[in-house]
Chains A and B, each alone.
Chain A
Amino acid sequence: MDELDPVIHAAARLKITASLATLAAGDRIAFARLQELLGMTAGNLSTHLRKLEDAGYVEAVKTHQGRTPVTWLALTRTGRRAFEDYMEALRGLLGESV
């Protein structure tokens, strides 16, 4: 894979994907906590998450904690593989050993 995945390549989506990739497989993070970790506005984060969801890279599960709606986010298997492929392609372009 020589070309960089355009879905992940945008700086904001790259940060989102990299952050979600730090979660253990099977774990999800609350939207508010991810927003706090990334320092993005809710609107901006939602926009980029939708693009990642449309590509099948992120899965969002909406639940309620009491009366408060909570959205839980995680990379899908496809998303995690896409992030790994992206890293590999980037290292390849930079001539680093993988």
Chain B
Amino acid sequence: MLQLLGEQQRHVERAQLAPVPWLYGTWGVAWLVGFLALWSTSPAGNPWFTVPGPLAAGVFGALITSSVVASAIIGSRINRGVRGTSTFGGVVYGLSWPLCGTAFALVGTGLIANGMSSELASIYFPSAYALMCGALYLGGAALWRDGGQLAVAIALLAVGAIAPYFGAPGNNLFMALAAGGTFLAAAVVVAKNPTRGR
């Protein structure tokens, strides 16, 4: 009977968290392929082939935009059919992504307007976004008492902080492998064990 109860509660949690691996997987592919494309724009980066800058920027932009749209759709399915005290937290958390994303972009363009070189910009933006994502996943971990999000948050903060030391374009390769790899690993772990890991 106890087993039946535990299984029923795990079933409910699994059903609610079923979209989460898709969320991590989408971002994993976007970061892996997107940053590999950016790394491939310079002969100092990818030793096998070079991707024209505008094409790489287009691929990166398209992947990130698709991931944002996919996240909005997938995220809205996670807690569907539930409302109450957690709704406010969920809405604020959802809004925090575009708000923080815009703020970080404005800081970057402000730095460029004040003379930041394109090489420094290519170091600033990837790290800024990894740190932003890490901080927001920390918030998500606290909000939903989710150990998986906490692990992703710590990994992204570490990746964002370490990446500048590789210089450009090595930071893009590091971003692709470390951050993309973190998301893809999280997708596999959550797909195999879809609980909040409290």
Contact = CB atoms under 8 A, between A and B. Distances in A.
Interface residues of A, number: 27
A26 B86 CA distance: 8
A90 B2 contact: yes
Given A37-B15, A90-B1, A91-B2, A21 B9 contact: yes
Given A19-B8, A90-B1, A24 B84 contact: yes
Interface in B104-128: none
A94 interface: yes
Contacts of B5: 14, 18, 87, 90
Given A14-B5, A94-B2, A37 B84 contact: no
Given A26-B86, A27-B86, A34-B81, A19 B12 contact: yes
Nearest to B89: A24
Interface in B66-121: 80-87
A11 B84 contact: no
B12 A25 contact: no
A33 B8 CA distance: 15
Nearest to A33: B81
Given A18-B12, A24-B86, 8 more contacts: A14-B4, A19-B8, A22-B12, A22-B13, A26-B86, A27-B82, A27-B83, A74-B84
